[in-house]
Structure 1
Amino acid sequence: MQSHDPADQAAGLRVAPPRARPPRVIAVTGGKGGVGKTTVAVNLAVALSEAGRRTLLLDTDLGLANVDVLLGLSPRFTLADVVEGRCALADTILEGPRGLLVVPAASGKRQMAELAPAEHVGLIRAFSDLDLPLDAMVIDTAAGVSDQVLTFSQAAQDVVLVVCNEPASITDAYALIKLLSRERNVGRVQVLANMVRSPAEGRELFDKLARVAERFLDVVLNYLGAIPYDEWLRRSIQRQQAVVEAFPSSASALALRDLARRADQWQAPSGARGGVEFFVERLVQGAGAAA
């Protein structure tokens, strides 16, 4: 019988062969708070797991984490325990819906929100020691443009920027794109319009952001599509479930599942880029094996 104990699950995952293909790492961010980035990250991760992809969801909103709350999980350990030396990274892993693996962060711990840049890099490098046989990892970042947001976004292969039709969302999204491009050499950002009333509204929102970014920044913006405003999504949050699981035929669930399908088709990383990256050792090994 298969064990559902998180410790057993984590222990079993560490036997992956060294030549395991590097996972696709996707950072979901949003500039300002309230745009729905955590909901997108949770549903993207659950949808990828539902499609048979071995997926890990990492909460990097280090001081105000809520991924575990949205999924109705009760963590014994969080990233705060890892930083403070009370457990190993593998000990934090929870099993969520559809076999999704979750690494929770802490909520209400100011010291976690104030970690030094070197400590952010240390957390990223710790993932190279896990040897998880993963196909994908989805990162839910904090809101804003802090060092932790920039570093965790830079360490992913793709950045999904969630925007909604509010002036502050567009302004903050542009500010984040600017910092990622100029300070972290991120040359491509995937833009997802959220909580829109129509497909046309989503496209118009993207065009507004793209016109400014392409005029002043050396960055490529790709339009991922739109997630409609949906009452079923709000109900799923109240039930502490992903909408793709709770209400699979709802408009938002269909759009989020389509997002997962497209993300799954993105080209896998061919090797390390030379900066701070998740699973960098596996990326280097993968490049050497392909040579």
Structure 2
Amino acid sequence: MRVIAVASGKGGVGKTNVSVNLALSLCNAGQRTLLLDTDLGLANIDVLLGLSPRFTLADVFAGRCELRDTLVKGPAGLWVVPAASGKRHMTELTPAEHVGLVHAFSQLDVPLEAMVIDTAAGIADGVLTFCQAAQDVVVVVCDEPASVTDAYALIKVLSRDRGVRRIQVLANQVHHPNEGKALFAKLERVTARFLDVTLNYLGAVPRDEWLRRAVQRQEAVVEAFPSSPSARAFTDIARRARQWQSPPGQRGHIEFFAERLVAQPGSALA
């Protein structure tokens, strides 16, 4: 079971597109995947994929349905758990409610091999909790000073306050592959100097007209235009993600699908 949180310090860097296309690329590689939208107040994964969910996480917290009832089948067999948009109270959940949502997934009886979590931008408690509960965190950056500065702030808080010691960095909307490597080098220099954290360069997604067209069509670019430069980049990134080694130990006993992560081969949970 692989759980990947996709985050960014700053909004507008393409984080949700990364989440959607990474999840679908894992599906296309044969992994049973769930995509969880935890941008709880301004969710838009259902819009990006042209889905019309009956229930969202807002209904779960209101007691109108169970978590399982929110599941929506997306393209390529992808399962999606949508959040709500325009529900201010969902942005004001307590830390205990964020942890409760993490624990609720342990009761979700759906055969899965991977889950991708699209978090909100920034360093709010929910973002930190969902990243802490994942096995790996992907921080998305683009070539803007504010994006790099805010990405560093997010990494600092995750490492110092939540014990996250390994971060995957993905450069988005680059004009040239060297641009992505330069962004990573800039971020790595600062973190190596001040933080006890390991950064890994996951790769870069090019600025691509085909990606913009896919968004307008409410489709993922890996489905709509699989031969486009951005789709090929997402496919390669998913291949690298499948090869990651699991991090040792738990972080504060907060883990998505905790029972499945520790289940032994041959047990009822394996």
Instruction: Tell me if both proteins adopt one fold, taking TM over 0.5 as the criterion.
Output: yes
* Stretch of structure 1 that moved more, 263-272 or 140-149: 263-272
Q: Is the 8 A contact 1:270 1:283 kept in 2?
A: no
Matched residue, 1:46: 24
Residue 278 of structure 1 pairs with residue 252 of structure 2: no
Q: Aligned letter for 1:41?
A: S
* 1:137-196: CA deviation from partner (whole Å, max 9, x where unpaired): 000000111001100011000000000000000010000000000000000000000000
For residue 50 of structure 1, report the CA deviation from its aligned partner. Answer: 1.1
Matched residue, 1:242: 220
For residue 286 of structure 1, report the CA deviation from its aligned partner. Answer: 3.4
Query: Which of these residues, 130, 150, 157, is aligned with residue 135 of structure 2?
Result: 157
Q: Is the 8 A contact 2:164 2:251 kept in 1?
A: no
For residue 133 of structure 1, report the CA deviation from its aligned partner. Answer: 1.3
Residue 87 of structure 1 pairs with residue 65 of structure 2: yes
User: Which aligned pairs between 1:152-191 and structure 2 lie closer than 5 A?
Assistant: 152-191=130-169
CA root-mean-square deviation: 1.4
Q: Is the 8 A contact 2:6 2:138 kept in 1?
A: yes
Note the residue ranges of structure 1 that are not aligned, 5 or more in a row.
1-22
Query: Which of these residues, 176, 186, 204, is aligned with residue 226 of structure 1?
Result: 204
User: Which aligned pairs between 1:1-291 and structure 2 lie closer than 5 A?
Assistant: 23-268=1-246, 272-286=250-264
Q: Is the 8 A contact 2:163 2:251 kept in 1?
A: no
Q: Is the 8 A contact 1:44 1:257 kept in 2?
A: yes
Q: How many pairs does the alignment contain?
A: 267
Query: TM-score, normalised to structure 1's length?
Result: 0.89
Q: Is the 8 A contact 1:192 1:226 kept in 2?
A: yes
For residue 287 of structure 1, report the CA deviation from its aligned partner. Answer: 8.9
Q: Is the 8 A contact 1:44 1:256 kept in 2?
A: yes
* 1:75-108: CA deviation from partner (whole Å, max 9, x where unpaired): 0000000011000000000000000000000000
Q: Distance in 2 between matches of 1:287 and 1:266?
A: 20
Q: Is the 8 A contact 2:23 2:116 kept in 1?
A: yes
Secondary structure in structure 1 of the residue aligned to 2:215? helix
Q: Distance in 2 between matches of 1:149 and 1:209?
A: 20
